[in-house]
C-alpha cells in the first residue's frame, strides 16, 4: 500500500473517507465536502442510524451534490474519550472497509479529529499506521486466490499538517514493518521455518545496520548451555542462538530483549495431545517479537543501544530426546531436574538470559515467551502476563501496553511460590505442579537473572491465534513489537 500525505485539494474521483465522532458530528467535513453533500450525508446518517462508534463504518454511494462519487464514514466514537491509540484502530477499520468494498484507491480527510494535545501531524500518522497494520495478509502458500480481495493500492491522507504527518509516519511505518516481520515468522509452517532457517531470516536485518551473530551447537556447548541443548537434542534440526545488536547511542549500556523460539513443540517425550498440536508452530512468538522489534528500531534509527537474543530449538521426541527425570547443567552452573519435557521454554530461556546479562551487562532484560497454557486460563487473550523484579520497569511496561492497546496484567512473584520448584536432587526443577503454573514458570526464570532489572512477559494468549481486531486479522499477531518500541521511545531513548 502506498500512503502519501497531502494538503492539496482532495480529488473528487477517489472515494472519500470522512471521520465522524459520535453525535454524530463530521470531523473536518466542512472543508472536505460542500454544503449540499453535507446535507445528503446527514440524512444518510439518520436513515442508517449510524452512531459513529469507534471503528464503525458506513459506505455511501454517489452522495448528492458536487461531483463526489462515494463517501465512507469512519466512526471515532465519543470524542471526549478518544485516545491517540484509538486512531490506529480507526485506520485499521478504514482499511478493512476499503478491502471489503474492493476499493483500490481512496482519500481520507484527516483534520478536525479533536486531539489537540497531539504533536502536529500525529493524528494523521496514527491513522496511516493503522492502515499499514491492517493491510497484512499471509497468503504465500495459497496457489489460487479467486476470492481474495484486491489490495488497497494507494491512500492519500489530507491534512493541513501534511509535512509533519509524513515525518511522524516514518517511525510508525518502520514499526509496522517490524510487526509484519514478526507475523510472518509466527505464521510460517514448521517444516519451512526450522531453527537454522529462522536464524538465516533474522540475520537479514544486517542490511539495516544491525550486527548479527549466529551461535551453533558447538559454540553453545563450549559456553555450557546444557539446558538449551538438552531441549534440542531430540530433533534432527540443530538449535541456534541469534544475537542482534543495534547501536543507536554510543557509550551507554544496552537494553536487552530475549525471545523464546521453539519453532515446533511436540512436548518431547512428555507428548502433547494431538488435538491442536499444529498450533505449536507458533511457539516461537517471543523470538518473532524480538526479531521484529530489532528490525523496527534499526529501520527508524532509534537512539538507543539494544540487544536481541533469541534461542531457537525444535522440541521433538526421538531415541536421542531428553527424558523426564534427566538432570541438565545450565550455563549458570545451576542444575535443573527436567520433570516434564514439555516445560522446555524456560530451559532455553535460562541459558539465553544468563548469556545476555553476562556478555552485555544490560540496563534491563525483558524476555517474551509463549510459555504457559496457564496464562490463558488466568487472562484469556486480552492481556499478556507480566512478571517483574523491578517496579519502575513494570509500571513503564503497563503504561506502554495501555498506550498501544497491547495490554499487560501484572502477576505476582514471591518466595512462597519459589519453594514449589525446589528439587531434591538438583538446584531447581522445571515444573512446580498444577497450581500457579505461570507463576512458578516465572519464578524459575527469576533464578537466572540475578539482580538485573528484569521483566518476563508470557504471550501464550496474545502472540498466536489471538483475538482479531481492527489492526490485525492474522493468526500470528506480531504482538509486543509496538509495546516495546513505545517503551523505548518514551523512556530510554536519548537525543
Query: Do the Cβ atoms of 19 and 74 come closer than 8 Å?
Result: yes
b (16+ CB within 10 A) / e for 185-204: bbbbebeebbbbbbbebbbe
Using CA atoms, how far residue 243 sits from 216, 225, 291, 482, in Å, is: 12, 15, 10, 21
Residue 392 parent element (H or E): helix 391-404
**C-alpha to C-alpha distance for 30 and 112, rounded to whole angstroms:** 10
Q: Is 272 a catalytic residue?
A: yes
CA distance 154 to 419: 58
Q: Which helix (H) or strand (E) holds 58?
A: strand 57-61
Q: Name the β-bridge partners of 239.
A: none
Q: What is the DSSP letter of 388?
A: E
* C-alpha grid cell, residue 192: 519451512
Lookup: cell for 125: 500518522
CA angle 61, 63, 64 (to 5 degrees): 145
What does the alpha-carbon distance between residue 244 and residue 212 come to, in Å, rounded to a whole number? 5
Write down the catalytic residue from 4, 200, 201, 272. Answer: 272
Catalytic residue among 132, 240, 260, 346: 346
Q: 143: Cβ–Cβ under 8 A, 6 or more apart, which residues?
A: none
d(CA 153, CA 105): 6
Bridge partners of 265, per DSSP, are 315
Residue 268 in contact with residue 341, Cβ under 8 Å? yes
Catalytic residue at 4?
A: no
Query: DSSP secondary structure string, 136-153?
Result: ----TT-S--TTPPPP--
CA 33, CA 172: separation in Å to the nearest integer? Answer: 29
DSSP, res 420: G
Q: CB neighbours of 295 closer than 8 A, spacing ≥ 6? A: 174, 177, 178, 181, 205, 208, 210
Separation CA 138–CA 192 (nearest Å): 14
Question: What amino acid positions are annotated as catalytic residues?
Answer: 272, 346
Amino acid at each position: 500500500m502506498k500512503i502519501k500525505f497531502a494538503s492539496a485539494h482532495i480529488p473528487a474521483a477517489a472515494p472519500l473517507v470522512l471521520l465522524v465522532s459520535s453525535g454524530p458530528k463530521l470531523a473536518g467535513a466542512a472543508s472536505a465536502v460542500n454544503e449540499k453533500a453535507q446535507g445528503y450525508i446527514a440524512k444518510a446518517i439518520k436513515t442508517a442510524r449510524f452512531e459513529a462508534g469507534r471503528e464503525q463504518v458506513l459506505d455511501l454511494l454517489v452522495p448528492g451534490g458536487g461531483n463526489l462519487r462515494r463517501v465512507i464514514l469512519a466512526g471515532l466514537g465519543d470524542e471526549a474519550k478518544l485516545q491517540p491509540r484509538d486512531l490506529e484502530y480507526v485506520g485499521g477499520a478504514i482499511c478493512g472497509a476499503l478491502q471489503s468494498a474492493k476499493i483500490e484507491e481512496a482519500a481520507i480527510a484527516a483534520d478536525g479529529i479533536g486531539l489537540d494535545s497531539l504533536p502536529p501531524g500525529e493524528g494523521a500518522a496514527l491513522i496511516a499506521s493503522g492502515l499499514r497494520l491492517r493491510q497484512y495478509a499471509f497468503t504465500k502458500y495459497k496457489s489460487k486466490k479467486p476470492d481474495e480481495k484486491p489490495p488497497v493500492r494507494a491512500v492519500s491522507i489530507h491534512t493541513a499538517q501534511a509535512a509533519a504527518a509524513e515525518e511522524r509516519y516514518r517511525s510508525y511505518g518502520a514499526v509496522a514493518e517490524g510487526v509484519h516481520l514478526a507475523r510472518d515468522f509466527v505464521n510460517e509452517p514448521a517444516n519451512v521455518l526450522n531453527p537454522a532457517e529462522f536464524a538465516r531470516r533474522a540475520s537479514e536485518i544486517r542490511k539495516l545496520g544491525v550486527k548479527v551473530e549466529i551461535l551453533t551447537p558447538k559454540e553453545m556447548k563450549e559456553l555450557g548451555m546444557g539446558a538449551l541443548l538438552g531441549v534440542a537434542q531430540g530433533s534432527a534440526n540443530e538449535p541456534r542462538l541469534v544475537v542482534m545488536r543495534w547501536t543507536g547511542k554510543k557509550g551507554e549500556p544496552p537494553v536487552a530483549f530475549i525471545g523464546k523460539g521453539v519453532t515446533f513443540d511436540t512436548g518431547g517425550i512428555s507428548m502433547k495431545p494431538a488435538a491442536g498440536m499444529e498450533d505449536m508452530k507458533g511457539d516461537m512468538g517471543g523470538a518473532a517479537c524480538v526479531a521484529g522489534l530489532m528490525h523496527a528500531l534499526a529501520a527508524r534509527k532509534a537512539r538507543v543501544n539494544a540487544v536481541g537474543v533469541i534461542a531457537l530449538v525444535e522440541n521433538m521426541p526421538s531415541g536421542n530426546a531428553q527424558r523426564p527425570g534427566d538432570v541438565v547443567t545450565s550455563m549458570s552452573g545451576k542444575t535443573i531436574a527436567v520433570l516434564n519435557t514439555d516445560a522446555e521454554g524456560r530451559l532455553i530461556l535460562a541459558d539465553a538470559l544468563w548469556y545476555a546479562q553476562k556478555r552485555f551487562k544490560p540496563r534491563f532484560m525483558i524476555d517474551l515467551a509463549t510459555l504457559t497454557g496457564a496464562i490463558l486460563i488466568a487472562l484469556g487473550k486480552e492481556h499478556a502476563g507480566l512478571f517483574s523484579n523491578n517496579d519502575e520497569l513494570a509500571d513503564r511496561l503497563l503504561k506502554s501496553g495501555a498506550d498501544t492497546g497491547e495490554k499487560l496484567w501484572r502477576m505476582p512473584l514471591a518466595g512462597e511460590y519459589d519453594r514449589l520448584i525446589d528439587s531434591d536432587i538438583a538446584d531447581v526443577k522445571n515444573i512446580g505442579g498444577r497450581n500457579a503454573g505461570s507463576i512458578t514458570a516465572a519464578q524459575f526464570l527469576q533464578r537466572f537473572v540475578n539482580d538485573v532489572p528484569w521483566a518476563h512477559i508470557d504471550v501464550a494468549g496474545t502472540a498466536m491465534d489471538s483475538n482479531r481486531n481492527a489492526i490485525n486479522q492474522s493468526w500470528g499477531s506480531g504482538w509486543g513489537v509496538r509495546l516495546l518500541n513505545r517503551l523505548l521511545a518514551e523512556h530510554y531513548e536519548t537525543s
